[in-house]
Each structure stands twice: as C-alpha cells, then as structure tokens.
Chains A and B, each alone.
Chain A
Amino acid sequence: MATVNISVDGKKIQGETGQTVLQVAREAGIYIPVLCDHPALPPEGACRICLVEIEKQGTLQPACTFPATDGLVIHTNTERVRASRKFNLELLISDHPLDCMTCEATGDCLLQDLAYEYSVEGDRFEGTKHHYSINDPNPFIQVDRNKCILCRLCVRACREINGVEAISVFYRGFGAYIGFGADSHMADSPCEFCGSCVAVCPTGALWPKMSLGKGRPWEVERIQTTCPYCGVGCQIILEVKDNEIIKVDSAWEGPSNHGWTCVKGRFGWDFVHHPDRLTQPQVRRYLLEGSQPKPGPADRHPEVAGDPWEWVETDWDTALDITAQKFRQHRDESDPRSVGVLTSAKCTNEENYLMNKFTRQVIGTNSIDHCARL
C-alpha cells in the first residue's frame, strides 16, 4: 500500500491508497460529522453531512466516499461547509417528529447531537411530514419510520454483518422508506433478529422493545463482557441501570464477533431478573435425607408436605457431594459405561476439555458427546 499525504485543516496527515478522506481523518483523530457512515460498513454517501471543501474541486465533496489521494488540501469546517451541513440537517428535521423529550434515543442520537451542534431551526423548510404506524408485531425491535433518516446503515448492517438482506428501501423520493422482506413485517421477512440494524441506527428509528422506557443513556453503566450463551465468546456491552440489564450494545472490537451478536446475545436478557430463575442448587428431598431408599413413582405427592420427590434448596457443598457420590456409586457398582456425558456449546473450550478428561479418566467411559446445536 502506498502512502498518501493529505492536509486537513492545515494539519498534514498520512493514509494509504484505497482509504477515503474520512478514514484517514478519523485515524488522525480529526472529527468530521457523519450520519450515514459507520466504520464497520461500506460507505453510502447518502446523508451529505460529511461534505467538506477540497481545494481544486468545484463542489463540496463527501469525505466518506472521496478517495484520499496525494496532495489533497481539505477544509472540514469552513462557513460554506457549515452552511451545507446545516441545510441538510434542516431538511432532515423538516420531516422528523421532533419529540426528543420522550424519544428513547435522546442523548444517544447522532441527529440530535448534530442539530444541537449546528443550531438547526426546526421549521426552516416546513412541509409535509410522514406519519407512519410504529406497529411492527415482533417481540424484539420497535420500528419507528417517522424517525428514520434513510441513512441505510440498517440495510447495510443486515446485508454485510448478518448476511441476511431482510431490510431494503421501498418506493422512491420523498415516499421512500425502509421495509422488511417483501414490504412486510420483520417477522415475515428473513430477519433473524440479530439486532445489528438496531446497533447501527443513528436515531431512535430502530430500538429494542426490551429497553423502552427503561432508562436514559446517561443513567446507565456500560459494561463490556462476554456473552454467556455460547462458546463463540461474543463481546457485548451491557447497559445496566439500577443493577438491571436494560439494553445490549455492539462491542465493535470484539475479536470473535466484531459487533455482531445473535438474537440471544442481543435480546435474551429477561432471564436474569426472572422470578422463576434458579439462584440456589436444589436436590430431591429423598436424596437429602440420606439413607432413604429411592421412592417409586407412586410415592409422588406434590401437594403433601414432605413429598420425597420435592425439589429442595440446599448449599453447593451438599449438592455437589450428592452428585459425586452418585457418580461414584454408578461407576463402581454398575459399570463406568452406565454413565454418559453430554456437554454443551454454551461451555467454553476449557470447560469442554475438562469434561472430556473427567468422563474418560475419572469415570472411565468414552460416552461423551456435545450438543453442537443451540
């Protein structure tokens, strides 16, 4: 790759051939505002917010698509540039509900941030506004097209990140809107509810239903962690408020997932605070009381106190002792081959390795398998 030297706002910076002006500037820490660009996705050139002045170019040029070539002299914040950005923001705002007070995205919305930065006036280009229904009957994602700025980040995320192409743009001009499948509901489209579209949406147009009304971005603690669901080990960012997970954001640097998750990692968090969730080990009552012989099916009386089959909470030591004792009993009294082990893709490689050792060396059987399905 050949090096290219460009000048941005008087600063001499370097990039490589094949990079765009925006990429080079971004790497050098120079801020150019964007709405339709995301570092993980190919550029689109749709919003025209990143327009900059490039010397010897008659018109303003989009930084997000303009190839960086040697000798470019670029100005990112001239009066002309600022006027153009303000113009485009005012157009976007002219077809926007402006209900930031109750909008989920407040504080986490690129459009809102830029409207503030450029002091846009809401009624400069007053005209027809869209009034779309926000009813998309799916359990995970709220779709509010009234807030959509048609940046198509969601379209690209679905295509490039999840590889599904569930989202596309329907109709054209002012009547264009994003839709799913053959202009149907999300659930009737090829959508897999990976939520990549939600993660890249710069506004409140796509929002997790589980997060509605749960908290503001400045109220949450963002905790990067590993998704517990499977062995892929996706990195995710939990947004936690009052010790409750209210949203999941993409961790774009995650080495195994680069921001992607599956539906569980993105939306499967209701189990954490679910009242039915087991928080203590439990054993059958007859095991606890030690010497009792194993009761038969006829001894099952769930309605009676002291039912020998009843699950009873206990401490870990007791539970594990009972389990170890039962394993030993089967291995020694019957045959090691009477024991079989099924491990899980939800375990880490290390855990699966240990189970392998345990099964073959401690129990002494080769009967170990793995679900390899989720």
Chain B
Amino acid sequence: MFEPVLTRNIHRPDSEKISVYLAHGGYQAARKALTLAPEEIIEMVKRSGLRGRGGAGFPAGVKWGFMPRDADVQKIVAVNTDEGEPGTFKDREIVESDPHQVIEGVIIAAYAVGASRAYVYIRGEFFLGVKRWIKAIADAYEHGYLGENILGSGLNLDMSVHRGAGAYICGEETAMLESLEGKRGNPRLKPPYPAQTGLFGLPTLVHNIETLTCIPNIIERGSAWFAGIGTEESKGPKIFSVSGHVKHPGNYELPLGIPLREIIYEHAGGIRGGQKLKAIIPGGTSTPMLTADQIDVPMAFETLKQVGSELGTGAIIVMDESTCMVEAARRLSKFFAHESCGRCTPCRIGSQRIFEILDRMEHGKGKTGDIDLILELVQGIDGQTFCPMGAMLVNPPRSAIQRFREEFEYHITHKCCLVDAMDG
C-alpha cells in the first residue's frame, strides 16, 4: 500500500493550522534547506525528476535553472492556485487542508532561486481557499517563516494573495502574470519566458501548488526517494482527482505510473450502479478521451502520450455507458468557447463554431458533413493559436469523434441519441 506523502496531513483535525503542521514535523524541510547552498537544492530538484503538476509537466529543476543568478535583480515566485481545469480539485484540497506545506515549498524555492517576493494567485471562487491562504501566510509571518531574515538565514521573503475573477485562461502562467499586474488576463507572447521577464518585468518562477508541495518532501527524504517512485519519465507521487460515474469520487494520492484501472476500480470503487465503463478523460478536460479498452494504461506522462492522450493535471473523469458522447463533447466545447480569451482568430471564432455544430447535432439539427466540418475546424485550430489553449480545446471533440464516430453519425441521421435508443 502506497503511503501518501503530499496528502499525509489532510485527514488530521485542523490540518490547516500552523500548530498542527508544526506538531507533525512542519517547516523542518525549510530549516534544512536554508542550511544548504541554493545550487545544491536546484541540483536535488533536478535529480528528483519532478515535473510540473499544473498540466504541462515541465521539469521543475530545469525551470529553476533558467532563473538568472544575478543577485542585483529582484526575483519572484508566483504560486498558481487557479485550478480552472474542469475535473481537477486537488489544488483546492491542498490549500484548504494543508496550506503550510505549500508555503514551505515556496520558501525553499525562493531561497534556491534567490527570490524575495512571492505572489499567490488563487481562483476567485475558492472562498475557503482564499481565507486559508491569508490565515496561513499571516501565521507563517508570526512564526518567522516569512518576512525578514527567515530563521536567521538572511533570507527575506514577503508573500501575499491575489484573487482572480474567474477565467480559465488566467491559469495559463503568462495570463496569470498579466492578471496579477492588474491587467486583462490575456496570455503573453513567449519568448520571453517568465523566468526571464515575468511579473512586473522581473524574473519569475511560476509553479502549480502541487508541484510546490513536492519540494519540502524532496528536501526531507532526498531526491533518490522521489525518483524511486514512478516510471522512467514520470517521478514521484501524484494526486489524482477522480470524478464522474465512480462509486467514490475524490482525490487519491498514488505513485505516477499506476494503471488507470487500479485507480478507477480499486481506489474509486469502480463504476457506480453496476454500469459498464465507456470512456475516460485521464488528465482534465483538455486531454483526449480514452476508451474503456485503454484502461490498463499506466498514468504517466510518457505512457499516456503513447495512447494518444496526456497526463495533464491527472484529473480523471469517468463516463459510463449511459453517457452520450455528442453531449459530452458539446458540453466540453461549450466550456472552452466560453473560456477563450478572444485574442486570436482560430480560438475565438473556431471554438464557438465547434460548439454551435455540436449543439445543433445534440438537438437533432445536425447536417450531413457536420462531422467533417468539426474535424476541419479542429485541424485549423490545433497548433495555430497564440497560446496552448487552441491545442487543448480541440481534444474533446476530436477524441470523441475519433473514438465514438458512430454516435455522431447516428445523431445526424436519426436526429436523436444512440445511447437513448439503445436504452429502449
């Protein structure tokens, strides 16, 4: 049985409180890190194999290495708690139940890259999360883990919380920086990357909070421990948010590389109501769907890529055989059309057209040629947008059509749903 690490505290009463965190070994990793040389810490993170948990899976240590060494330039850590990807609810649980573990990760990251300022960006709807962040930061200041000369190490670090106003795109790191600066949340042109020119033009290290949560554990238990968990290219523990038609939806911390089947059937209790499994979105709504026969895939970056999908945020959405795939694609496309920032042509208009076509199909008004029209839109949008959103929004409709084309055809020719028809 895998021992949870990142979520080891969350079931304790008052786990969000600094007293509880300290009583269970909290801030020991920060103490230890502050005695090491920054380069040593960066080396440890590199050796651990930790990859970002915000969706893109970029190697964390490499990103730390991109931060300029120049001591004269102020540097920033930006903490991404936007968690907009539907199906993902791990970050919310982390901040609500164990915010100090993240702060500890921020302290270590700030020390390693020479940052003196940390900004938290949190999704506006996370009311409890905002409160927990603010309280935790205040308590950390009071106990000397934030502020000037932290634990006598000479490290100065100020930290504050900024609430977003509810836009998926503000989770994208450069849009988040724009929003933090008080501007409209549009993605920025890259390069320059945030590590060169980030918040207010200063070098900025952006991380998802699950990634930051891994840091104190790597310091405490060592890179070899972390790298010993998982697969060749996917190391460490991972929190999988499981939702949809399972008996026990929730967050499950498990080693990367665990087969999808095990998560669904052993941890989430299998499909509810004795139904059959139909489709799975393995990494949040922006990742391509899988079919029931792909369920033995190990949940790792490289293995999911091999089966035509992605690990994304590790949010697993399970759909049983009562699910209409046209309706599923329609709803997902509605989300992306609603969340497009509107900057570039293919995403702004293309996402709307995909939704409209799926909407008319779902309502019995689909036309011959509509499937090809969607595929044409998908091809035109994919990889040709200003930010990665375009490549993300095409995944639900494309994968649904690739894997369940007959349902789309049935909707068009019979003006009704194949799933309903089979139910009799």
**Residues of chain A at the chain B interface (Cβ within 8 Å):** 43-49, 51, 58-60, 65, 67, 84, 87-88, 91-92, 94-95, 125, 127-128, 149-150, 152, 168-169, 171-176
Contacts and interface: CB of A to CB of B under 8 A. Distances in A.
B385 A48 contact: yes
Given A51-B384, A172-B167, A88 B348 contact: no
B167 A46 contact: no
18 contacts: A46-B386, A47-B345, A48-B345, A49-B345, A51-B384, A58-B383, A88-B380, A88-B384, A91-B346, A91-B353, A125-B353, A127-B356, A150-B345, A150-B348, A169-B184, A173-B341, A174-B337, A176-B342
Contacts of B377: 125
Interface string B173-199: 000000000001000010100000000
Given A46-B343, A174-B342, A59 B386 contact: no
B373 interface: yes
B338 interface: yes
Interface string B353-369: 10011000000000000
B157 to A, nearest CB: 34
A84 B390 CA distance: 14
Contact of B342 (A47, A67, A88, A175): A175
Contact of A48 (B344, B352, B353): B344
A94 B345 CA distance: 11
B350 interface: yes
Contacts of A168: 184
Name which of B345, B377, B383 has the most chain A CB atoms within 10 A of its CB.
Answer: B345
A174 B384 contact: no
Interface residues of B, number: 31
Given A45-B386, A46-B343, 6 more contacts: A44-B343, A92-B349, A125-B373, A150-B345, A173-B339, A173-B348
Nearest to A60: B384
Contacts of A43: 189
A63 B412 CA distance: 40
B340 interface: yes
Contacts of A127: 352-353, 356-357
A94 B377 CA distance: 13
Contacts of B88: none
Nearest to A61: B384
B81 interface: no
Contacts of A65: 189
Nearest to B376: A87
Most buried by A among B353, B356, B386: B353
Contacts of A59: 383-384
Which one of B341, B343, B357 has the highest number of Cβ atoms from chain A below 10 Å of its Cβ?
B343
Nearest to A58: B383
Interface of B is mostly: helix
A175 B373 CA distance: 22
A174 B380 contact: no
Contacts of B184: 168-169
B342 A150 contact: yes
A172 B341 contact: yes
Interface string B379-419: 01001111000000000000000000000000000000000
5 shortest interchain CB distances as A-B pairs = A176-B342, A59-B383, A87-B380, A173-B340, A174-B352
Nearest to B186: A169
A150 B337 CA distance: 16
B346 A173 contact: no
B7 interface: no
A173 B376 CA distance: 20
A14 B228 CA distance: 51
B390 to A, nearest CB: 9
Contacts of B338: 173
Contacts of B352: 127-128, 173-174
B97 interface: no
Nearest to B360: A127
B351 interface: yes
Contacts of A84: 380, 384
A175 to B, nearest CB: 7
B340 A172 contact: yes
A91 B350 contact: yes
A336 B368 CA distance: 93
A9 to B, nearest CB: 20
Contacts of A173: 337-342, 348, 351-352
Contacts of B357: 127
Nearest to A92: B345
Contacts of B384: 48, 51, 59-60, 84, 88
Contacts of A174: 337, 340, 342, 348-349, 351-352
A140 B340 CA distance: 33
A171 B205 CA distance: 29
Given A45-B189, A91-B349, A172 B342 contact: yes
Contacts of B345: 46-49, 88, 91-92, 149-150
B284 to A, nearest CB: 19
A94 B344 contact: no
Nearest to B339: A173
B233 to A, nearest CB: 20
A88 B346 contact: yes
B383 A60 contact: yes
Nearest to A168: B184
Interface in B10-67: none
Contacts of B346: 48, 87-88, 91
Contacts of B344: 45-48
A169 B183 CA distance: 11
B205 to A, nearest CB: 23
Nearest to B383: A59
A95 B349 contact: yes
Given A60-B384, A174-B337, A169 B350 contact: no
Given A87-B380, A150-B348, A94 B341 contact: no
Interface in B225-249: none
B335 to A, nearest CB: 11
A290 B189 CA distance: 76
Nearest to A125: B353
B342 A94 contact: no
Nearest to B381: A87
B191 A171 contact: no
Contacts of A60: 383-384
Interface in B314-354: 337-346, 348-353
Contacts of B351: 173-174
Contacts of A125: 349-350, 353, 373, 377
Nearest to A84: B384
A43 to B, nearest CB: 8
A254 to B, nearest CB: 29
Contacts of B167: 172
Contacts of A91: 345-346, 349-350, 353, 380
